[in-house]
Structure 1
Amino acid sequence: MADEVLWEGHGIIPELVGSSSLTFAINLGTSRKDIQRLILGVKNLSRNFFNENKIKSDVWNGVRAPATYSSMHLSPRDAIFAKKRRVNIRESVGEICGELICPYPPGIPVLIPGEVITEEALSYLLSVLRMGAAIRGAADPQLSSILVCGI
């Protein structure tokens, strides 16, 4: 939809259209006028289509990513190929994560395969999920369950 609005209203064609992102290529042939048109188009999108209920900044209204990191129990490779089981998210603390869990925005993984799952990481993930973040990489993007290593 956003790419259609940019094309129809401003003659802008994104290089790549994703399900929740647009990528623009700027190169030696891009003029100042092209950039100004892109800025105007993005401002138009923001002004006319921004949902007030969506997240407004990477600070997440005071919720910050975990400051401490847990320990790695397996290498990511070993964890990816390990046998896994699905557990309730609340029962996963102390288990070895079997999948990459990345909230978007900001698009930075919080849990990676082989890492020991902490209460702090789960609390952050559930908080940003409630605020409207999309969870990428997880088998259950609603985070009611999580894949952990072991039988």
Structure 2
Amino acid sequence: MAVRQLSLWLQPEQAAAAELDAVIARLAAVHRTAVFPAHLTLLGVLEQEPDAAVSSLRQVAQLLDPLTARFDQTRCEPAWHRSLYLAAVADPTLRRAFEDAARMFGLRGKPAFDPHLSLQYSELPVADKLRLAASLSLELPMTVRFDRVSLWHTPGSDAGRWRQLADCPL
């Protein structure tokens, strides 16, 4: 049986994760929104058998080396899943990681890739999101090193129900 709503994440090294997780937790506490681990989604909304997906995850981990992403803007959108985030520059290394992951997971066609690191998932009005973006204590541009890739079950918009299925170092 295929599991719906699997996601493949790059996860930051420990120091960067701690800093970003603290920002996410602060925003969540102030606005009563979801707390979730800092990540950059390589592939979202996958549907595969769990064992096959874990096998594909391991193949991706073997292909990739730790990589860095440069975040140059804070953005917000009305959509819950792109509420408030750091926009990443889609450089060749990051794009190649996405393409390798898409190939290992057997995705066909040209899936969209707009790399970002979410800071908040919410349905707040855009004006409130803009105020939040202006109040962030993150200095941009920011470079983050990612040293793990993980597979998550992300059913729906309740991040409290999200579960990590597997994790591999790069």
Report the TM-score, using the length of structure 2 for normalisation: 0.19
**Using CA pairs below 8 Å that are at least 6 residues apart, which structure has the higher relative contact order?**
2
Q: When the two structures are superposed, what TM-score results if normalisation uses the length of structure 1?
A: 0.20
Larger radius of gyration: 1
More helix by share: 2
Could you say which structure has the higher strand fraction? 2
